[in-house]
Amino acid sequence: MSRSLNFKPSNDRATKITLTFACWTTAILFFLPIAWIIATALKPKNTVLDIPPKVLFVPTLQNLIDALSFSNTLSYFINSIIYSSIAVLLAILVSFLAAYSFSRFKPAGTDFLMFLLLSTRFVPAAAFVIPFFQLFNILKLKDSFLGLIIFYTMFSIPFSVWILKGFIDGVSTKFDETGLVYGAKRPHIMFKLVLPQVRSGLVAAFVFNIIFVWNEFLFNFQLGGLKTYGIPVGLFTSITKGGQVDWSFVASIGTLYVLPLALVIYFFQRYLLVGLTFGTVRGEV
Amino acid sequence: MVSQTSAKFEESLKERPKKRPDKNRKLSWLLLAPVLAFFALLNVLPTLWMLGLSFYDYTLTSYKAPTFTGLTNYSDFVKNEQLSASVSRTFIFLILAVIAQTLLGILIGVFFWKNDKMPGRRLALTLFFTPMVVTPIATALFWKLMLDPTFGVVNYMLTSLGFSRTDFLTSSTLAFPTLIVVDTWMWTPFMALMTLAALGSVPKAELEAAAIDRLPIWRQITSVIWPHAKFILMLGILLRSIDAFKTMDLTYIMTNGGPGDTTELIALSLYRFAFKSFKLGYSSAVSVFLLFIAIALTAIYLYILNAKKKAEQTE
Amino acid sequence: MKADDVFAANPELDIEPFSSLVKNTYQVYPDGSGIRWGFPQMPDTQGVFLRKDMLEDPKEQAAFKQKTGKDLPSTYEVLSNIEFDDLVEIIEFFHRPAKGMYGTALMYSKEYDFFSCAYYPFAYSTGGKIWDPETNNVYGILNSPENEKAMEQFVGLKKYQPANFAAFGIGDMIDLFTQGKAFSAWQWLAVGKFMSSDKVPADKVISIPLPKWKGNLIGAMGGQPWVINAFNDDDHMRVAVDVLKWWYTKETQDKFIKENGGLPWSAEGAANPEYLEVAHYVKPFLYMLEEGRSQDFWHLPEYAEMLAVQQAAFNGYATGQVKTAKEALEYAAAKQQQILYKAGRTETPPPDNVDSLKI
């Protein structure tokens, strides 16, 4: 079997060794620039621009401490955590309702609505910022957690609906029907029978959207304010100090940034993969 | 775990939800209501607003009140060859970057797929995925530093290996390809992830059968893999294309559209109109135009997918 | 809101500036109206930072004498009146790329106004104009032979700089200079405090005004004022004025200038001998702030758009995307004329081919 090419996971020892080497090399190559950022964060500040670059050095936590104690960095981190987690959870809840409806009842125009939802991603953010800015000023939502949470909920809905619809499609309608026959109420069916079976989808939607919201910059910058700025804004507004890029600061924030996300990816990896199979729906657009 | 959902899916195919009687109609819309409310408030409203603004001469820094000027903004935009150049440049960027990311992503994805029990696979994948999750504000800045001819580690390595110092970001011939390389670094992991998911959506039994039958590799791809995997792969390509079309952080931070305007992509021009010149009417017109392009792109992708699906169903 | 109104209620804030440049650059709008809106915060002018230790090195002095037959100047008195060509000769002498030491660094970046402000002194000092403030016309004025020559001279200095010179902005110059990679850097004097490091300590650095072009010199103005938002509610308005009162106290200004690299711009501050002793960059700053020694570009709401157009074109010339300085200036002038014409600031339309012009 090893001699013919195929897409089955390989069992052949030689192939496996070669592939392991190739996979690890690739992973390390892709990770190198990030590793460089982390290394810079751990270097003494005055050696960052040294050429030849310092590869061996005594690591210091000073840059990380400085970055966290600089101005509002810590509260920006906390803000990011607050608005991203609340908004994504809210989005997943309403998306589950919508996805259930799309999947089970197929209301008129389902395909079109799904397409419209995805269209939120179409336009460069800069195009939408101005209407939002004016809207938020009128509604007095600027620089409020409520405003940001509403915004990021919308921001997270399309992808969540798409993922969850796929997963719910994959749950047999027999569950619903049996439930109905035994006189169960609809909420019971949805939350007690169907929901537990789409757990992977829920986690995948959560992980994906957390990454997106956590990284979103422009809207946070324009719609937020000193009370509600998140960490990308905290980074962007403090890149230069005294006219010069503060590399240690950028590297430290970058490091603090990648750590929680890397942990999420490491521990929720299978959900990421399964989530992206959209419950293995195919050709269903 | 992937195969379980596949099995579920196979099952669900046979038991498509049947159209339910009308009594469920109310419920269905009730369940949709929250999402639709969000959508109306935060999507429809701003889009209509933008559409309206696009017919006005409205500049925040001007002493003139907003005046209705019909299609003037659109004709200004179409006439301006500098902008058309930046639109076509954006398309070239999109095509080259997405092709590179897709091919590389598929290759790497297949490697990881074939080697599903390799030691430290989870860690390797985590490291591999990091480029796409760190804010481009940080990664783009560091690429700029790493590519710097004087302080950059890349040039340091090039020169110590005997190559000449290369000026990646300020050479009018190299800057554009360099940005494509960095974008590819950032997004190949995403396409590899989609590839892994796509392969996961192929029923294991079919893969086994194809391998046992010793089908030629090309036949395996066209008749076993593609029918299952195409939805996720194409969705990956679609999402990447839309995002590549919107690329801004990368160009803004690494080259600011320079040298000259050789890396000026349309999203960056739009940003300038909106936030440096405060020409709200004009930038809205450009946005509407971009919206149409993006919708057209999506429609083409969906058409390809659906056309194939219909063809299969009639077979 | 109008600064004049604040001054009427708080006369102590109305501080007499060192020269009319402060008033015209940071306070008055529209030009010539005398109506003041801004409060001077951090006025800024341009200079050149040089490695004093290299200039004073006897071995270098001897080698320079042997090579050129001239004395290598090392004192502020001589250097502050240096001619452009003489400065370039020194830059060329210290340009040793093989040893990782570049002769100089200037700003050519497309970012904000970096290229433009670094280039303007070359144009202004050789008779170039960038527009006519009376008629708001640009075309035919910006694209002049003087400006073309000035731009060629400005970009010509690339041969003494690292390969990525065209990306240089304020920060890149600081990095290059403070890491000991450049003998000199043409830089805003307000960042003077940051132009030293543990590798290049402050006592090895000297700063001077920009050189002269056949005895003439007009630099560009930088820096920024405070302004008060007219939409503030009463509380914010009061706090804003309180901040200004705090800012202009002797103690705050003292701290700003002595510890934070700030620069004195008031008549009183400039006369304070203590301030001149704070650092080497104070003297050239005040020199450049003398009447008529520097000027600012357009004070128009359309400025951002005009700037973006010319930054792209000029930077294109620096990187070779645009073949000649003439083309770059032609493009910028036509597009800027169009912007001003559309905004209703001038009656003169742009040339007919303006829409088909490309960089």
pLDDT digits (tens, 9 = 90+) for B28-47: 899 999 999 998 888 888 88
Question: What mean pLDDT comes out for the span B250-260?
Answer: 89
Taking contacts as CB-CB distances below 8 angstroms, the residues of chain B near C155 are: none
Calculate how close chain B gets to A70, using CA atoms only, in Å. Answer: 17
Query: Do residues B243 and B90 lie in contact, with contact meaning Cβ atoms separated by under 8 Å?
Result: no
| Confidence class for position B307, pLDDT limits 50, 70, 90 | low
Q: Using the beta-carbon criterion (under 8 Å), do A240 and C171 form an inter-chain contact? A: yes
DSSP track, C236-297: HHHHHHHHHHHHTSHHHHHHHHHHS-----BHHHHH-HHHHHH-TTHHHHHHHTSTTSEE--
Determine contact, residues C123/C144, Cβ cutoff 8 Å. no
Q: Neighbours of A (≥3 Cβ pairs closer than 8 A)?
A: B, C
What is the pLDDT at residue A4? 60
Selection from A71, A76, A100, A77 nearest residue A241 by Cα: A71
A216 reaches B (C-beta below 8 A): no
User: Taking all residues of chain A, what is their mean pLDDT, rounded to a whole number?
Assistant: 86
Distance from CA of C280 to the nearest CA of A (A): 18
Q: Would you say residue B8 lies in a domain?
A: no
Q: Is residue C231 part of a domain?
A: yes
pLDDT digits (tens, 9 = 90+) for C27-52: 999 898 999 999 999 999 999 999 99
Q: Which domain holds residue A46?
A: 13-60
Residue C236 sits in a domain whose CATH number is 3.40.190.10
Phi and psi angles of residue C96, each rounded to the nearest 5 degrees, phi first:
-135, 75
| Closest approach of A145 to chain C, Cα-based (Å) | 22
Query: How many domains does chain C fold into?
Result: 1
Query: Which chain C residues have a beta carbon less than 8 Å from that of B166?
Result: 163
Mapped onto helix, strand or coil, the DSSP state of residue B211 is helix
What CATH number should be reported for the domain holding residue A78?
Answer: 1.10.3720.10
Kindly list the residues from chain B whose CB atom is less than 8 angstroms away from the CB atom of residue A104: 17, 20, 24, 28
Chain B: partners with 3+ C-beta pairs within 8 Å? A, C
Q: Quickly state the pLDDT bin for A280 (edges 50, 70, 90).
A: low
Buried-exposed string C335-350: b where 16+ CB fall within 10 A, e elsewhere? bbbbbbbbbebbeeeb
Q: Contact C305/B62 with Cβ under 8 angstroms?
A: no
- Is the pLDDT confidence value at B7 over 80? no
B262 CB neighbours in chain C (<8 A) are 316, 319, 321
If asked whether residues A192 and A54 sit together in one domain, one would say: no
Are A53 and A121 part of one and the same domain? no
pLDDT of amino acid A284:
27
Beta strands (DSSP E) in chain B are 56-57, 67-68
C224 in contact with chain A, both atoms CB, cutoff 8 A: no
Same domain (yes/no): A56, A78: no
Kindly tell me if the per-residue pLDDT of B10 is higher than 70.
no
Percent of chain A with pLDDT over 70: 95
How sure is the predictor about A2, in pLDDT bands with cuts at 50, 70 and 90?
very low
User: Could you tell me if the ipTM is greater than 0.90?
Assistant: no
Inter-chain touch C171–A243, beta carbons under 8 Å: yes
Quick check: is B131 in a domain? yes
- CA-CA distance, B223 to B209, in Å (whole number)? 12
Distance CA C238, CA C232 (A): 9
| B164 part of contact set with chain C, CB < 8 Å | no
Residues of B in contact with A127 (CB under 8 A): 50, 270, 274, 283-284, 286-287, 290-291
Closest Cα in chain A, distance from residue B260 (Å): 22
Any idea how long chain A is? 285
| pLDDT value for B234 | 85
Q: How far is A150 from chain B (nearest CA, A)?
A: 8
Find all residues with CB under 8 Å of A197, minimum gap 6, and list them: A167, A171, A175
Q: What is the mean pLDDT of residues A196-220?
A: 87
Nearest Cα of chain B lies from the Cα of A81 at a distance, in angstroms, of 15
Residue carrying structure tokens 């509610």:
C233
Give the number of domains in chain B: 1
In a domain, B62, yes or no: no
**pLDDT tens by residue, C217-228:** 999 999 999 999
Answer whether residue C358 is part of any domain. Answer: no
User: What does the alpha-carbon distance between residue C209 and residue C82 come to, in Å, rounded to a whole number?
Assistant: 9
What is the pLDDT at residue B235?
Answer: 81
Instruction: Please determine, for residue B241, whether its predicted confidence score (pLDDT) is greater than 60.
Output: yes
- Nearest Cα neighbor of C138 from C350, C325, C357, C318 is C350
Q: Flag whether pLDDT at B21 surpasses 70.
A: no
Closest partner residue to A244 (CB to CB) among C100, C175, C199 is C175
What CATH code is carried by the domain that includes residue B224?
Answer: 1.10.3720.10
Q: How many whole angstroms separate alpha carbon B84 and alpha carbon B90?
A: 10
Per the structure, how many domains does chain A have? Answer: 2
C21 assigned to some structural domain: no
Let me know whether A110 and A242 are in one domain. yes
Contacts of A44 in chain C (CB under 8 A): none
Query: How many other CB atoms are there within 10 angstroms of residue C309's CB atom?
Result: 22
What pLDDT, on a 0 to 100 scale, did the predictor assign at position A163?
85
Q: What is residue A279's predicted lDDT score, i.e. its pLDDT?
A: 58
pLDDT of residue B5: 46
Looking at the structure, do residues A71 and A38 belong to the same domain, yes or no?
Answer: no
Chain B window 65-104: which residues touch A at a Cβ cutoff of 8 Å? none
| A241-280 residues touching B, CB cutoff 8 A | 245, 247, 250-251, 253-254, 257-258, 261-262, 265-266, 269-270, 272-280
Q: Is the peptide bond before B203 cis (omega within 30 degrees of 0)?
A: no
Give domain status of residue B9, yes or no: no
**B38, part of any domain:** no
Checking if the pLDDT of A285 tops 50, the result is: no
The first and second tokens of residue A135, run together, are 């809207």
Q: What is the pLDDT of residues B200-231, one digit of tens each?
A: 888 888 888 888 888 888 888 888 888 888 87
Domain hosting residue C98, numbered range: 42-351
- Reported in sequence order, the residue ranges of chain C that DSSP labels E, i.e. its strands, are 39-44, 46-51, 184-188, 205-209, 219-220, 222-226, 294-295
A102 chain-B contacts, CB cut-off 8 A = 32
Q: What residues in chain C have per-residue pLDDT under 70?
A: none
Residue B273 is part of which domain span?
86-314
Among candidate residues C32, C26, C35, the one with its CA nearest the CA of residue C227: C26
Q: Measure CB to CB from residue A244 to each of C100, C174, C199 and give the nearest one.
A: C174
C-alpha B302/C-alpha A285 separation (Å) is: 7
